[in-house]
């Protein structure tokens, strides 16, 4: 069952790695020649190199390695969070992450939990994300809470849980949803010894129904939990097997520990030990312990040695005797090698997404056909997306229910702010200027020029002065002249009078039946006043004495004016209101 494999790669020296064969066991995960190379402006870095690993069903596999050895990267590649550069991964017969991702439960190194949700609601949410209906997830949540010893805390929110309970909750989140493979990244990190033991007990129970892959820096944890131990260094697998296999391969032997008394004779004791086991070697130990390494090949002599030491314990000055096997820490340290040179390789990243294969493994020429779309895959993908949307909507519903006052405030605040902006700014103000009489009396010292050409009626132009309308208006009455020529002469004679007193200049050509009215743009309402003078001129000329036309200006609409603060409101305050309206998107199921 045990095998030692020597791997020769390119021109490098052969590297011996200890690999125990487990082909008689059912494999859930098969990793073959996995590589991951990260590229950056400073160059390339090999995170995983030619990794081949098997993870067996209903077993706990502990993945060990120093910081930066590639453990977390390997996990992320398995679950599809990180694209692989090359290689092949199969999980339960599927070699594409989109097909097997729902079967994996992942518990990251740091707690992933929402403070406003209870333990039970967490499980329902994650179960719904994996395709379960809400009622089905609620039923399974109760069973899983029982498994992780959180049944009595099912209605407690995150703030009321201890550190150990939070880790158990994250573990429960990874379990729910009919998962087959649990990937746990340092599940007991930061926990006290009692909480760590609780997690161990839970994992040992869970492996009856799940296959588990964990990473840890606690050698004792890996020794207790790990049915199989994998050790990585610089992205490569350097050892894989059961704890016993690795201890026999990398360990130097059992350790004999003697608690020294006051009469302990070191030389005599060491001589007696070497009589039975010639290859015994003293190893450093903390006083008052005397430690000796006993080779595995001399195990048959152990009983005689221990019997004699026990019998002559007082004579040798020994207070107690114990024998321990090599520790997993010794295995980890002895398996480590710092002289492995890594090469930078040309590579390309591929993302685990439908329709694209991330493998360039020549041993799998049929992978393209495996990844080709099947008729039902599109429907399954849509159903998964619908289930995930329902899960997110459920989470948002819980958040709104827990923070109802916040959402009410978010809904009311934009409306109130909008109303206040308009009320405080005054908006538009209306001004009623009343009726304006368009009469020459509104202009101080007003005078007008009237020229009559082609008079065919027995009427004297001077009689106009006697009309009521033309009283208090200085008139210049002329006949048979051109109005433009006269105005040019008048402007030259007295420009100030021309600009500020002349309200109208009228030329009445009787024979042509035309009336030319000119008004002064420098005077307010001069156009209306000039037209009014012309109308009254026509009435007098055609025989309607004592009749006059009075023109008034009454605007049909009120003039709308902005007050001084309104522009500020619309440029500053209304912008704030629209920002508050954007907050309404937070109420969507995101």
The answer to the question of residue 76 being in a domain is yes
Residue 376 confidence (pLDDT): 62
Q: Is the pLDDT of residue 484 over 80?
A: yes
Residue 203 confidence (pLDDT): 93
The answer to the question of residue 348 being in a domain is no
Q: What share of the chain is helix, strand, coil (3-state, %, to 5)?
A: 40, 25, 35
The answer to the question of residue 393 being in a domain is no
Calculate mean pLDDT across residues 244-268: 87
CB 156 within 8 A of CB 119: yes
- Same domain, residue pair 220 and 309: no
309: which 2 tokens?
């030491």
Indicate the burial class of 119 (C-beta count within 10 angstroms; 0-12, 13-18, 19 or more): buried
The least confident of 12-21, 269-278, 386-395 is: 12-21
Looking at residue 260, which CATH number applies to its domain? Answer: 3.30.70.250
% of the chain residues with pLDDT over 90: 26
The answer to the question of residue 472 being in a domain is yes
Structurally, the chain folds into a number of domains equal to 3
Residue 39 confidence (pLDDT): 87
- Same domain, residue pair 190 and 147: yes
Residue 165, preceding peptide bond in cis (omega within 30° of 0):
no
Mean pLDDT of the chain: 81
Select the highest-mean-pLDDT range: 201-210, 423-432, 510-519. Answer: 201-210
Domain range for 61: 18-248
Residue 14 confidence (pLDDT): 41
Looking at residue 502, which CATH number applies to its domain? Answer: 3.40.190
Calculate mean pLDDT across residues 147-161: 91
Number of helical (H) and strand (E) elements in the chain, helices listed first: 20, 23
CA 458 to chain centre: 98
Q: Is the pLDDT of residue 101 over 60?
A: yes
Q: Helix or strand or coil: residue 22?
A: coil
Q: Is the pLDDT of residue 312 over 90?
A: no
Question: How many residues are given for the chain?
Answer: 590
Compute the CA torsion angle 580, 581, 583, 585 (nearest 10 deg): -170
Which one is predicted more confidently, 74 or 372? 74
CB 16 within 8 A of CB 334: no
- Same domain, residue pair 163 and 116: yes
- Same domain, residue pair 281 and 244: no
- Same domain, residue pair 236 and 260: no
- Same domain, residue pair 217 and 292: no
Residue 411 confidence (pLDDT): 76
Q: Point out the domain boundary residue: 248, 264, 296.
A: 248
Residue 351 confidence (pLDDT): 44
The answer to the question of residue 380 being in a domain is no
- Same domain, residue pair 303 and 192: no
- Same domain, residue pair 243 and 293: no
- Same domain, residue pair 126 and 272: no
The answer to the question of residue 561 being in a domain is no
The pTM is what?
0.63
- Same domain, residue pair 471 and 332: no
Looking at residue 30, which CATH number applies to its domain? Answer: 3.40.50.300
- Same domain, residue pair 191 and 331: no
Which one is predicted more confidently, 339 or 20? 20
Q: Is the pLDDT of residue 9 over 50?
A: no
Q: Is the pLDDT of residue 551 over 60?
A: yes
- Same domain, residue pair 150 and 283: no
The answer to the question of residue 559 being in a domain is no
The answer to the question of residue 493 being in a domain is yes
């Amino acid at each position: 069952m045990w095998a030692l494999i020597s791997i020769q790669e390119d021109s490098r020296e052969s590297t011996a790695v200890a690999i125990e064969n487990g082909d008689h066991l059912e494999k859930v995960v098969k990793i073959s020649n996995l590589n991951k190379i990260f590229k950056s402006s400073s160059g390339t870095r090999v995170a995983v190199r030619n990794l081949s690993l098997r993870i067996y069903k209903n077993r706990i596999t502990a993945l060990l390695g120093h910081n930066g050895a590639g453990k977390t990267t390997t996990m992320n590649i398995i679950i599809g969070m990180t694209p692989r550069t090359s290689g092949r991964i199969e999980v339960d017969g599927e070699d594409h992450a989109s097909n097997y991702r729902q079967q994996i439960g992942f518990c990251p190194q740091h707690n992933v939990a929402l403070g406003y949700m209870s333990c039970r609601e967490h499980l329902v949410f994650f179960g719904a994300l994996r395709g379960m209906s809400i009622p089905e997830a609620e039923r399974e949540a109760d069973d899983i809470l029982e498994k992780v010893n959180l049944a009595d805390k099912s209605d407690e929110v995150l703030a009321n849980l201890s550190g150990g309970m939070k880790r158990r909750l994250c573990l429960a989140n990874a379990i729910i949803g009919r998962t087959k493979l649990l990937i746990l990244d340092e599940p007991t990190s930061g926990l006290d010894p009692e909480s760590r033991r609780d997690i161990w007990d839970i994992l040992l129970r869970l492996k009856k129904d799940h296959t588990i892959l964990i990473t840890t820096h606690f050698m004792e944890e890996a020794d207790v939990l790990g049915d199989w131990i994998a050790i990585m260094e610089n992205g490569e697998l350097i050892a894989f097997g059961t704890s016993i296999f690795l201890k026999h391969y990398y360990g130097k032997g059992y350790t004999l520990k003697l608690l020294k008394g006051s009469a302990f004779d070191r030389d005599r004791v060491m001589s007696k030990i070497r009589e039975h086991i010639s290859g015994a070697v003293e190893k450093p130990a903390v006083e008052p312990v005397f430690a000796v390494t006993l080779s595995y090949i001399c195990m048959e002599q152990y009983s005689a040695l221990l019997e004699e030491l026990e019998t002559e314990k007082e004579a040798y000055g020994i207070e107690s005797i114990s024998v321990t096997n090599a520790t997993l820490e010794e295995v980890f340290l002895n398996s480590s090698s710092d002289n492995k040179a890594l090469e930078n390789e040309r590579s390309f990243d591929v993302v685990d997404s439908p329709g694209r294969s991330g493998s360039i493994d020549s041993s799998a020429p049929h992978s393209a056909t495996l990844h080709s779309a099947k008729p039902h895959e599109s429907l399954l993908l849509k159903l998964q997306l619908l289930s995930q949307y329902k899960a997110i909507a459920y989470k948002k519903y819980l958040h709104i229910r827990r923070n109802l006052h916040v959402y009410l405030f978010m809904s009311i605040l934009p409306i109130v702010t909008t109303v206040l902006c308009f009320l405080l700014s005054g908006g538009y103000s209306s001004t009623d200027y009343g009726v304006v009489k368009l009469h020459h009396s509104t202009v101080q010292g007003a005078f007008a020029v009237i020229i009559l050409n082609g008079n065919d009626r027995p009427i004297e132009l001077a009689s106009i002065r006697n009309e009521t309308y033309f009283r208090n208006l200085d008139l210049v009455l002329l006949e048979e002249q051109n109005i433009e020529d006269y105005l040019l002469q008048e402007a030259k004679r007295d420009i100030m009078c021309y600009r500020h007193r002349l309200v109208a200049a009228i030329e009445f050509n009787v024979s042509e039946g035309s009336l030319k009215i000119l008004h002064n743009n420098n005077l307010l309402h001069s156009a209306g006043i000039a037209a009014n003078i012309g109308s009254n001129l026509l009435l007098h000329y055609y025989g309607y004495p004592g009749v006059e036309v009075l023109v008034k200006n009454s605007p049909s609409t009120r003039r709308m004016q902005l007050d001084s603060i309104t522009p500020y409101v619309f440029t500053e305050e209304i912008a704030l209101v629209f920002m508050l309206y954007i907050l309404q998107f937070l109420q969507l199921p995101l």
